[in-house]
Amino acid sequence: MSTQPVNADVVIVGAGFSGIAAGRELSNLGQKTIIVEGRDRIGGRTWTKESPIGLNLEMGGTWVHPSMAHVWSEINRYNIALHITPFAQKAWWRAGQQINSGTPDDLACLVDVGMNEFLPQAGEAFPFPHTPYPLTDLARQLDAKSAADVIETLDLTEEQRSVLDGIWALHFNSVSSRGGFLTALRWAALANNDWRYLAEITERYKLVNGTQELINAMHRDSQAQVVLNTTVEAITEDEQGVTITTSEGQSYRAKHVIVTAPVNALKNITFTGPYDPASLGIAEEGQAANGLKVWMRVKGNLEPFHCLGTSEDTFVWIQYETELDGDSVLVAFSPDATRIDGNNIDEVTQALHVFRPDLEVLEVDSHDWVADPFAQQTWVIYRPNQLSADAETLHTKNTRIWLAGADYAHGWTSFIDGAIEAGIKTARNIYRGENK
């Protein structure tokens, strides 16, 4: 491999939605842009995979919604077809030591009781939820608490407490004691303080042909060069620019670098210069989300349903997705990836049977993003004290090194929408700074 550096105006580390959006923006503004990606594909933590279950499945980020302005604009721009997840007809949920069942509205009414006590401060803590920084005084005061801390203080029955814990363990993709109460309020504020609307936003609309169709369309509109199978090891900044060094021995030299690595993967890169995001406490401690998404094909054409567990269950959520040749495809989420091998049919069957012992699992598929070396997490969920500490620093422009991605968005952090927002905003900030 040549040791001569490849020159560019901007080098982007990571070819997920944020990197592709930033690359499209900068290259079409006349900036020579190179995107360096460690994987053998673009997409990052979105991945439309041809699955042994029998259809293409989203192993990572999936759902979109009209309330997410950035991704919805791209969907309209490229005329991407949408699919609606079927509405459940029946629900199962944990109530202490037993599993209860009823209608989805029965479950929702139980959740309502706890959410009415849990969420009232969301609007005051985040009066402008798409521009959360600087944080309000109330937000700073509340950031020390976990969701579990607050749930324990509420006057609820055991059943009401169980379902409230389960909803936040689902949203956090982690146990409720790891996720910050302030992160929960932030998501609620983005959904107009309405938890039912938040549930719709996070699980209703999908892309018929998968997220790959959208990201490919965005990249076709870009002049940025993508270099796959290339892992960035070091980023060195000086007064004139930035040098990016890969594990393959290639180096790149640019005026700016955009790093889209997730928070937990920042430590993979050695930063030298005035700004080292990997040295921040949040990068060393890691954010909270460490769960698992599991797909399964079960025997028979079932009526749509969903199941809600708690932080203590192997599966905190199971929902029907689609019919497939007389069988049914389900998706489930675990709050802890270490609890289950999502590709082991026996383990998945055991976890499903806690709620639906009548179902036969035929095939399973999963990707462990926590074990993935380029991700080391699922979506970002800030722990207690992180939003009011290092998270704000991560969202701030620092010298010639910029962070962009779903983890660093100002609005829908954790979602495809946030990734696109952060990529476009960061690209525009760089371009404006270079053309004052």
SS3 per residue for 298-348: ECCCCCCEEEECCCCCCCCEEEEEEEECCEEEEEEEECCHHHCCCCCHHHH
Q: Is 330 found in the same domain as 246?
A: no
Model confidence band, residue 39 (pLDDT cutoffs 50, 70, 90):
very high
pLDDT tens column, 311-332: 999 999 999 999 999 999 999 9
| pLDDT number for residue 286 | 95
Please give the share of the chain, as a percent, with pLDDT higher than 70. Answer: 98
Q: State whether 184 and 313 are in the same domain.
A: yes
pLDDT band at 397 (very low <50, low <70, confident <90, very high): low
Per-residue pLDDT at 338 exceeds 80 = yes
Range of the domain at 38: 6-45+211-286+375-434
For residues 313 and 69, what is the distance between their CA atoms, to the nearest angstrom? 34
Q: Is 179 found in the same domain as 307? A: yes
CA distance 117 to 151: 9
pLDDT greater than 90 at residue 237: yes
Q: Residue 421: which CATH number?
A: 3.50.50.60
Are 28 and 90 within one domain? no
Token look-up 């401060």 returns 121
Predicted confidence at residue 396, as pLDDT, reads 65
Q: Any idea what the CATH number is for the domain that residue 198 is in? A: 3.90.660.10
| Res. 196: pLDDT tops 60 | yes
What is the C-alpha separation between 123 and 134, in angstroms, rounded?
15
Would the pTM of this model clear 0.95, i.e. be above it?
A: yes
Distance (Å, rounded) from C-alpha 422 to C-alpha 399? 17
Question: Which of 354, 369, 384 corresponds to the end of one domain?
Answer: 369
Residues 193, 312 within the same domain: yes
pLDDT in tens, 123-134: 999 999 999 999
Average pLDDT, the chain: 96
Say how far apart CA 395 and CA 207 lie, in whole Å: 29
Report the pLDDT value the prediction gives residue 398, as an integer from 0 to 100: 63
**Do 321 and 421 reside in the same domain of the chain?**
no
Q: Residue 2: pLDDT above 90?
A: no
